Amino acid sequence: MIPAFLVLASSSTLVHLSAVDLVIIVFYFALVLAIGMYLKEQANTGEDFFMAGREMTAWVAGLAFLSANLGSLELMGWAGNAYKYGILAAHWYWIGAIPAMLFLALVMMPFYHICKTHSVPGYLNLRFGQSAQTLSSISFAFMTVLMSGINMYAMAVVMKVVLGWNINVSILVSSVTVAIYVALGGLRSAIFNEVLQFFLIWAGALLIPILGLVEAGGWSGLKAKILQNLTEQHVANPGAYTHLWSTLGDFSKNPMGINWVGIVFGLGAVISMGYWTTDFLVIQRVLSAKDLRSAKLAPIIGAAFKMCVPFIVILPGLLGLALLRDPHTGSLLRLVPANLAWSDAGQAQGLHGYDEVLPLMLARYCGPGLLGLGITALIAGFMSGMAGNVSAFATVWTYDIYGALINKNASDEFKVKMGRVVTLAGVGVSILTAYLVMHAQSIMDYVQALFSFFIAPLFGTVLLGMLWKRATPAGGFWGLFAGTLSSIGMYTWVKLDPGAVRYVALSMQAQDQAQNMFRALWCCSICVVVTVVVSLMTKPKPDAELTGLVYGLTAIPHEEHVSLFHSPTFWAVVTGLAFVILQIIFW
C-alpha cells in the first residue's frame, strides 16, 4: 500500500505501486543517504569537497560525466521526442554528443587538466581575465539553479501524473535527500551516487526495449508497425520516423522540419560542442580525474555508453508509436503535447502527453518489483541531474563569484563551509524556482532557450582561447558578450515576428528544435568573428602568461609509455568507428 500522504488521485494514475515497489524505492533513498554519511569524513579540504580530491579513476569520472546529464527529464523528454519526431531524436545522442565528447577528451581536456582550474569560468579567468569569468560564472550560476528548479517541478508533475504522488512531497523528499548527500560529501558524494544511479537507470529501463522488441517482432517488425500505424492516421512522411539521415535533404521531408545543415553544423558542431566541452555541470566530473590519462579516458568511456542510451530512451519512444493502444477500445493511442494532456480538459478525456511514453511502456511490461525498479530509475535520473546542478553551482559560486569578486583571501576551510552552505542554499533556491514555475508555467517555455543563449557562444570563446594564442582578453569578453546578445536578439525577433523564422532557421517549417540549432550556429559564428576582430585590434598577452592554457605554448605529456589498450587515442578511434557504423545502419 502507498502511504496516504503520498496519494493525490491514485484512481486516475498510470501505474499503481505494490508494497515491494515501495520497499525498492525506500531502499534507494536510504542507500544514497548512507553513501553521503559515509563520505562526509573525506570532504575536509577545498580540493576534497569541490574536486573530489582529484583522485577519481577514468571509469568513475566517465560514468559520473554521463550520469550527470542523464536526468529523468532527459530520459522521459527524449523518449517523448522519439515518439514525436521518430528516430531523428537519436541525433541528440549520436552526432549531438559523440564527436564533442571525443573532441573534449583528445583536444580540450589536456588544457583543463594541466591548468588545474576548479571550473570553466576559472579557465576563462586564467585565459581572458576577470571580465569574461564574471560574465560566464554569473550566467552559469543563475541558469543552473533556475534549470534545477524547473526540472524539479517538471519531475514532480510527472510523478503526480504517473503515480498520483503529491507535488509538494515529491519536491521536498527528493530535493532534501540530494541536499543532504551533496552537502555532506561534496563532489565525491555526488559522483559516487551518480555512478550508482547510472547502474539503476540501466537496470530499471533496459527491460522495456528488450520486451518491446520481442512484442514488436524485432527491428523490422517495429518499422513495419510504425509505418502501418502512421499511415492509418494520415501522418505526413511516415517512413521518415525510422530513418536517421535519408530524409534530411529537405526541410519538408521529415517531422522535425530540419535539414542536414542544421543537424551537422547547428547540433553537431555548435550546440553539442558547446554543451559537452564547456558546460561545467559535466566538465566538473572529468576535472576530478586522478591524472591526465584518466581525464582523457573519462569522456571516451562516457561517449561509449552515451551511444547506447538511445536503446533505453529512443527505442521505447518508437515502440510507443508501434504498440500503444487504448486499453478500453483497443484503438491506437495517440499521445499529445504535455500542456494539452495535463490540462483539466485533457485529464478529463484521459489524454497522455508525449513525455509519458516511457512510464506508459514501463507500466505495459513491468509488474510488481520491476515497476518499483523502473520508477527508482526515473527518480535516480532526476536526483543525479539535480546533484550535478547543485555541486557545480556551489563550486562556481565559491570560487568564481564569492572568491573572485567578494572575498579573494578566503581560507580553504572557509571555502568548504561556504560550499556546504551554498549547496543547501542552491537547493533552497531551486525549490523556490519550482514553486515560481508552478504559478507561472510560461517561464518553462523560455528557460530552455535562455540556457542555450550562453552555451553556444561560450564554446566559441573557450575554443579560440585554447587554440589561438593571439586571442586577447578584450576579444574574449566582447566575443562572448556579442554572441550571447545576438542569440537573445534572434530569439526575441522570432517571438515578435514569427515570419522571421525563415531568416533565422532558413525555413518557415522549422520547429523549435530546428530553430535552436540555427540560432546556436549563428551566435557562435558571431562570437568567433567578434573575438577575432577585437583581438586583432587589441594587445595580446605575452606568451609567458599563456603557458599551460593555449595550444602551442603548453607541453602536453606524451603517452608512449602506455600499451595500445590503455591509450585514450585508440579507444577514441574505436568509439568513433562504432559511431560511424551506427549512422550507416540507421541511415
Instruction: List contacts with other proteins (CB under 8 A).
Output: 20, 23-24, 27-28, 31, 35, 38-39, 41-42, 53, 55-57, 60, 188, 192, 195-196, 199-200, 203, 207, 211, 214-215, 363-370, 372-373, 376
Which is nearer to other proteins, 146 or 378 (by Cβ)? 378
Amino acid (1-letter code) at residue 213 = L
Find the helix or strand (DSSP H, E) in which 291 lies: none
Task: Report in angstroms how near the CB of residue 480 gets to other proteins at its nearest.
Answer: 37
Task: Report in angstroms how near the CB of residue 27 gets to other proteins at its nearest.
Answer: 6
Which is nearer to other proteins, 55 or 559 (by Cβ)? 55
Task: Report in angstroms how near the CB of residue 193 gets to other proteins at its nearest.
Answer: 9
Task: Report in angstroms how near the CB of residue 181 gets to other proteins at its nearest.
Answer: 12
How many degrees, rounded to 5, is the angle at CA 137 between CA 515 and CA 153?
A: 60
Task: Report in angstroms how near the CB of residue 415 gets to other proteins at its nearest.
Answer: 19
Provide the 8-state DSSP code for 562.
Answer: S
What distance in Å separates the CA atoms of residue 69 and residue 386, rounded to the nearest whole number? 10
Cell of 62: 566517465
Which is nearer to other proteins, 195 or 312 (by Cβ)? 195
Task: Report in angstroms how near the CB of residue 29 gets to other proteins at its nearest.
Answer: 12
Task: Report in angstroms how near the CB of residue 62 gets to other proteins at its nearest.
Answer: 13
| Residue 283 burial (C-beta neighbours within 10 Å; 0-12, 13-18, 19+) | buried
Task: Report in angstroms how near the CB of residue 84 gets to other proteins at its nearest.
Answer: 23
Q: Phi/psi zone of residue 334: left (φ > 0), alpha (ψ -120 to 50 degrees), beta? A: beta
Residue with cell 499511415: 231
- 307 near 62, Cβ under 8 Å? no
Which is nearer to other proteins, 196 or 572 (by Cβ)? 196
Which is nearer to other proteins, 249 or 350 (by Cβ)? 350
| φ and ψ at residue 56, rounded to 5 degrees | -80, 145
| φ and ψ at residue 143, rounded to 5 degrees | -70, -35
Which is nearer to other proteins, 288 or 472 (by Cβ)? 288
Q: Please tell me whether residue 329 adopts helix, strand or coil conformation.
A: coil
Q: Please tell me whether residue 454 adopts helix, strand or coil conformation.
A: helix
Which is nearer to other proteins, 376 or 486 (by Cβ)? 376
CA of 469: how far to CAs of 8, 56, 106, 110, 125, in Å? Answer: 59, 31, 19, 16, 15
Long-range contacts of 212-218 (CB under 8 A, 24+ apart): 212/315, 212/316, 212/319, 212/323, 212/361, 212/365, 213/315, 213/319, 215/319, 215/323, 216/319, 216/322, 216/323
Task: Report in angstroms how near the CB of residue 302 gets to other proteins at its nearest.
Answer: 16
Which is nearer to other proteins, 60 or 307 (by Cβ)? 60
Closest CA to 260 of 583, 573, 493, 579: 583
Which is nearer to other proteins, 207 or 226 (by Cβ)? 207
Torsion of the alpha carbons at 565, 300, 305 and 25, rounded to the nearest 10: 110
